[in-house]
């Protein structure tokens, strides 16, 4: 009877062959836990001036707390909990970046200027190169296999779990044992690192240089001068538009992903599709549902972050914690120093540059969504910056997805000869 009732909430697997019993929650129950993480994170940040000052994203705090509790339960041998979140996470990530792509209007790109785009591209390539050089040197000093050191470098840091997972089998075939496990663990830890250091870096830069946001630079949804009123009909149309354009992003993803030596994430296709659709609508004089798309964008970002952080299995970090931890510490220091002394300076030494430095810490230690989460937390505390929000994370991730796999392939071949 108990097992029958439990079946409504997930799948129970009894203990066997020395392994503990496990229970995987089905997706609706998983979303319920994600909602708790969102509420809890916002409550914690609302009652902590320190967290607000250093712009730590709310779901990061509660998500880490949740994953630590789940890992303690698993580590004590009671039961291992897991969550059916793969498809929902994929949906959230792709629809979020689609909405970001909707902001890529020609007017905004013209305002940003080619000089900033070049600076972002050069800084991204330099960071990726430094991450691999530092990782290789530190790995050599502590006796770690050079390819495993790379899995703790740009593969997992700038590339995130996706790139680390893609290069894992390649490095294993080249003689690096458990490269996939190490890369995924490093990428997981990188997500946490990037979320924790981005806000403090931006807060330091803003305080040190006395920076302030431009009161005339406001979100597109706020430019009417009054609070946006969401309309049910427009919301339904906006959501349907998002689903349609996301589907149209798949052919773009197919084309990009089949470029030799480049590992391209699916959300890049959605990003391009959103940008193309927005500019076509503007050129054709079709009204764009700005407030509704803005609401969809923020909802899916918050849910994505909650799902990612709450489903981290910290127990998987234990077997590789020693040497991997040393390299990751070096990568965290490199990222913070790079954001403060390189990114901030080449991006213009203004408030927007400080916001982009926080975003740099996000994607440089984890993923594109981490970058925008860092920037959102900073802007919620200190003020809006359109170019930093719309252009920087997406453009930097595109450069990363092109340069990182190519450099990893070349550098790994050189150091294993």
Residues 108-125 as b or e (16 or more Cβ within 10 Å = b): bbeebeeebeebbbebbb
In whole angstroms, what is the distance from residue 127 CA to residue 340 CA?
A: 13
Compute φ and ψ for 312, nearest 5 degrees.
-70, 130
25 Cβ neighbours under 8 A, 6+ residues apart: 9, 10, 33, 81, 82, 83, 84
Per-residue pLDDT averaged across 239-267, rounded?
Answer: 85
The pLDDT of residue 319 is 65
Looking up tokens 């097992």 gives 3
More confident position, 249 or 18: 249
Q: Across the chain, what does the average pLDDT equal? A: 88
The pLDDT of residue 354 is 97
Per-residue pLDDT averaged across 89-106, rounded?
Answer: 84
Compute how many other C-beta atoms are within 10 angstroms of the C-beta atom of residue 155. Answer: 37
Let me know: does 309 contact 41? Beta carbons within 8 Å: no
When pLDDT is cut at 50, 70 and 90, the band that residue 281 belongs to is very high
Per-residue pLDDT averaged across 312-335, rounded?
Answer: 84
2-16, 148-162, 279-293, 301-315: which has the minimum mean pLDDT? 301-315
Tell me: pLDDT of 228 over 70.
no
Tell me: pLDDT of 331 over 70.
yes
**What is the SS3 assignment for 12?**
strand
- What does the DSSP 8-state code read for residue 395? H
Tell me: pLDDT of 401 over 80.
no
The pLDDT of residue 273 is 93
The pLDDT of residue 262 is 61
With CA atoms as reference, report the closest residue to 306 among 43, 23, 67. 67
Compute φ and ψ for 218, nearest 5 degrees.
-130, 160
Tell me: pLDDT of 50 over 80.
yes
When pLDDT is cut at 50, 70 and 90, the band that residue 185 belongs to is confident
Tell me: pLDDT of 141 over 90.
yes
Compute how many other C-beta atoms are within 10 angstroms of the C-beta atom of residue 409. Answer: 16
Per-residue pLDDT averaged across 378-397, rounded?
Answer: 88
């Amino acid at each position: 009877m108990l097992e029958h009732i439990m079946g409504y909430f997930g799948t129970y697997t009894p203990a066997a062959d020395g392994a503990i019993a496990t229970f995987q929650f089905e997706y609706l129950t998983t979303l319920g836990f994600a909602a708790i993480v969102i509420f809890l994170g916002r409550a914690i940040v609302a009652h902590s001036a320190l967290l607000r000052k250093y712009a730590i994203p709310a779901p990061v705090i509660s998500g880490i707390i949740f994953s630590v509790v789940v890992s303690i339960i698993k580590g004590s041998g009671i039961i291992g909990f897991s969550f059916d979140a793969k498809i929902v996470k994929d949906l959230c990530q792709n629809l979020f970046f689609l909405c970001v792509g909707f902001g890529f209007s020609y007017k905004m790109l013209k305002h940003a200027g080619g000089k900033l785009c070049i600076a972002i591209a050069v800084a991204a390539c330099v960071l990726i190169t430094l991450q691999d050089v530092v990782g290789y040197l530190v790995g050599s000093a502590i006796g770690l296999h050079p390819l495993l050191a790379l899995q703790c470098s740009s593969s997992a840091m700038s590339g995130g779990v996706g790139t680390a997972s893609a290069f894992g089998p390649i490095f294993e075939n080249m003689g690096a044992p458990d490269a996939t496990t190490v890369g995924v663990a490093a990428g997981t830890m990188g997500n946490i690192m990037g979320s924790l250091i981005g806000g403090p870096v931006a807060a330091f830069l803003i305080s040190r240089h006395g920076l302030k946001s431009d009161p005339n630079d406001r979100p597109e949804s706020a430019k009417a001068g009054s609070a946006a009123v969401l309309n049910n009909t427009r919301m339904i149309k906006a959501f349907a538009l998002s689903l349609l354009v996301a589907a149209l992003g798949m052919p773009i993803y197919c084309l990009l992903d089949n470029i030799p030596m480049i590992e391209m994430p699916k959300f890049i296709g959605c990003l391009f599709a959103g940008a193309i659709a927005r500019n076509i609508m503007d050129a054709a004089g079709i009204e764009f549902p700005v407030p509704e798309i803005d609401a969809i964008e923020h909802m899916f970002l918050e849910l994505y972050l909650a799902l990612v952080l709450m489903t981290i299995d910290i127990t998987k970090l234990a077997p590789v914690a020693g040497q991997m931890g040393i390299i990751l510490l070096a990568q965290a220091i490199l990222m913070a120093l790079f954001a403060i002394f390189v990114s901030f300076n080449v991006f213009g030494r203004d408030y927007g540059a400080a916001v982009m430095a926080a975003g740099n810490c996000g994607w440089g230690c984890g993923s594109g969504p981490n970058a925008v989460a860092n920037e959102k937390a900073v802007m919620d505390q200190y003020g809006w910056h359109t170019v930093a929000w719309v252009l920087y994370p997406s453009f930097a991730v595109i450069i990363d997805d092109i340069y990182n796999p190519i450099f990893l392939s070349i550098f790994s071949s050189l150091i294993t000869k």
